[in-house]
A and B are shown apart, each in its own frame.
Chain A
Amino acid sequence: MRIERLRKEPLARGEPFTFRWEGRDVEAYAGETVLGALLADGIRTLRRAPRTGEPRGMLCGIGACYDCVVTVNGVANQRACMVVAAPGLDVRSAPPGFAAEGGSDG
């Protein structure tokens, strides 16, 4: 959920752009991380744990836990909380070559 006001003051976000999540467009604003933009879009499940198949998403949000890892432009294990959203970025749930079984649309 994007906050429109902090302390009753409106926030200016500038113009939105889009990147791709599991092949569909997700809206983002300058300064947002991939994690932030996905959460704002209601997407909380970012992948499936390889052994148990459990859903995973954000845990620490500061780059320490690696629970939010996704594949960005074909590179696996990128922390969604540490990657700045950029126009045209191709973000996927599963590593390259794996079926996107974990990609939840929210």
Chain B
Amino acid sequence: MASAGGERTVLVVGGGPAGLAAAVELESRGLGVTVVDEAFDLGGRYFKRFNAAPDVSRGTELDALREEGLRRTGDLDPARVVTRTDTLVWGIFPGNQVGLYHDGRAEVVQPDAVVLATGAIERVAAFPGWTLPGVVTVGGVQTLLSREAILAGRYFLVAGTGPLLLATAVEIAEAGGEVVAVVEGSAATAPLRHVHHFLGQARRLRQAIDYGRALHQRGIPLHTGQMVVSARGDGELTEVTVARVDRDWRVVPGSEMSYDVDTLCVHYGFAASTELARMAGCDVTWDPERGGWYVVHDDAMRAGPPGLYVAGQLTGIGGADLATATGRLAGLTVARDLGALDEPSYAHAAADAKSAVRAGLEFARVLNSVYVPGSGLADAVTPETLLCACEEVAAAEVDAAIGAGSLTLNDIKRRTRAGMGLCQGRICSPILRTYLERRAGVGAAQAGQITARPPVKPIPLAALAEVSGAGAPTE
């Protein structure tokens, strides 16, 4: 695979900051690159934030980021880079055979190398009423707002944990929505203990201060050490109750208070989308400092199976700067391994990327240890609360499974169907993990993950049958 000559092809799965950074490196080394993304536009969650109305200025900071996003997508030479949006990667099989699906048709391709940059999804929490229309994720609201200039409601409560809460509240308010409060589960003083880590991250620190100031100027209260305990409404959300919590997010009895809102934006951190990596045979490890499950890789982004590389949130939850650095490094390593980049050039360029990765990881480590829900998050759950929204599995059913000895997500899935629905456990896995930890003292590593099976997202059986009829994938 490392020999020179012939058209070497690389498939980049995911067109966010990591995937695009990898594609730029690969393309500039003369490799044939295909970038696949399930969304109908490139940019990922991060650069999508700057897609709507490109002639509208959002201030220099955001403009600079948007420019960067446009440059990265625009810089890709169409002669060397094929972009396939609205295309799902539904499976990976031995020998880097990759199953694609677009517009009713499935196919299997076999590139020389695959860079997985599948990103992460937001964690939500289970509490009475969390499945009501009007309870949405912070990221979903941001994407709608910036890509379509549509606001998902009128009166908002923004709750959960992390810097994204502040950013989103400000964006909602700037767009004309009414934000009644931001509710942060971590204690107010927690970030201060780590403030020295922010010193090398002037841009991030300035952003945080800017958002805090903007919040204050608009009179939006920020309540720390509180979490959402229930949501109510006759068919759609009208009221949210929050309560004070201790350091482990355990509710302080009698501290409840309610807000009348039509929209609750929640965000409890991210969970890396490791399904494809696991299906490809990569190892995953639980590491709280990397934000949870991440894909094991060497310091050049090789992920185990020959020809398989990872980048972005799969390597640790850490935002767009870290994702970009890992994407660059993955692209460089692929180019080197495919013989498109000589060793001295690689060593020089990779050293730079590696130091950016190290700096990004250091910062991510702090964020991931400050903004992480405590096990008390599960205390809002009542026996009737659904833990799996797709299959509508209530906590009482999960309690019965735990009582019968199910202490892994796979076991709970077998007994209750939790995780068996359309989302295939993406949403309920973090919920079940938190619940297992609180109710049974089972740690994340022991609880494990729901086994990833093709197709990772539903595609029509007819399309699959066509592919298997063509003889691939094998084994």
Contact = CB atoms under 8 A, between A and B. Distances in A.
B457 to A, nearest CB: 8
A7 B57 contact: yes
Given A52-B392, A55-B235, A62-B140, A7 B133 contact: no
Contacts of B391: 51
Contacts of A12: 53
Nearest to B145: A3
B54 to A, nearest CB: 11
A84 B427 contact: no
B135 to A, nearest CB: 7
A39 B144 contact: yes
A59 B427 contact: yes
A103 interface: no
A62 B423 contact: no
Contacts of A35: 144
A33 B148 contact: yes
Contacts of A82: 38-40
| Size class of the contact patch on chain B | 35 or more
| Size class of the contact patch on chain A | 35 or more
Contact of B422 (A5, A39, A66): A66
A41 B391 CA distance: 29
B52 interface: yes
A60 B270 CA distance: 12
Q: Is the interface of B mostly helix, strand, loop or mixed?
A: loop
Contact of B52 (A6, A46, A56, A67): A6
Interface stretch (B17-25, B149-157, B210-218, B332-340): B149-157
A66 B423 CA distance: 6
Interface in A62-93: 62-67, 69, 77, 81-82, 84
B59 interface: yes
A27 interface: no
A104 B133 CA distance: 11
A81 B150 CA distance: 12
Interface in A1-26: 1-3, 5-7, 9, 11-13
Contact of A55 (B133, B153, B177): B133
B121 A61 contact: no
A58 interface: yes
B458 interface: yes
A31 B140 contact: no
Contact of A61 (B133, B139, B154, B236): B139
B30 interface: no
Interface hub of A1, A44, A59, A60 (most chain B Cβ within 10 A)? A59
A69 B175 CA distance: 27
B452 interface: no
Nearest to A69: B422
A65 B124 CA distance: 10
Contact of B148 (A31, A50, A59): A31
Interface in B363-388: 386
Interface in B408-440: 421-423, 426-427
Given A59-B131, A65-B427, A77-B422, A9 B140 contact: no
Interface in B165-203: 174-177
Contacts of A65: 389, 423, 426-427
Nearest to B460: A75
Contacts of B45: 62
A40 B148 CA distance: 10
Interface string B228-243: 0000000110000000
B296 to A, nearest CB: 23
Interface string A34-50: 01110110001110011
Nearest to A33: B148
Given A1-B151, A64-B121, A6 B53 contact: yes
Contacts of B38: 63, 82
23 contacts: A1-B176, A2-B149, A6-B52, A7-B57, A9-B56, A11-B52, A13-B149, A31-B148, A36-B144, A36-B148, A46-B133, A50-B392, A51-B392, A54-B132, A55-B236, A57-B134, A58-B152, A62-B39, A62-B139, A64-B121, A66-B390, A67-B131, A67-B390
List the 3 shortest-distance A-B pairs measured between CB atoms, nearest first.
A61-B140, A57-B133, A66-B422
Interface of A: 1-3, 5-7, 9, 11-13, 31-33, 35-37, 39-40, 44-46, 49-52, 54-67, 69, 77, 81-82, 84, 104
Given A1-B177, A13-B149, 4 more contacts: A3-B145, A11-B52, A11-B56, A60-B427
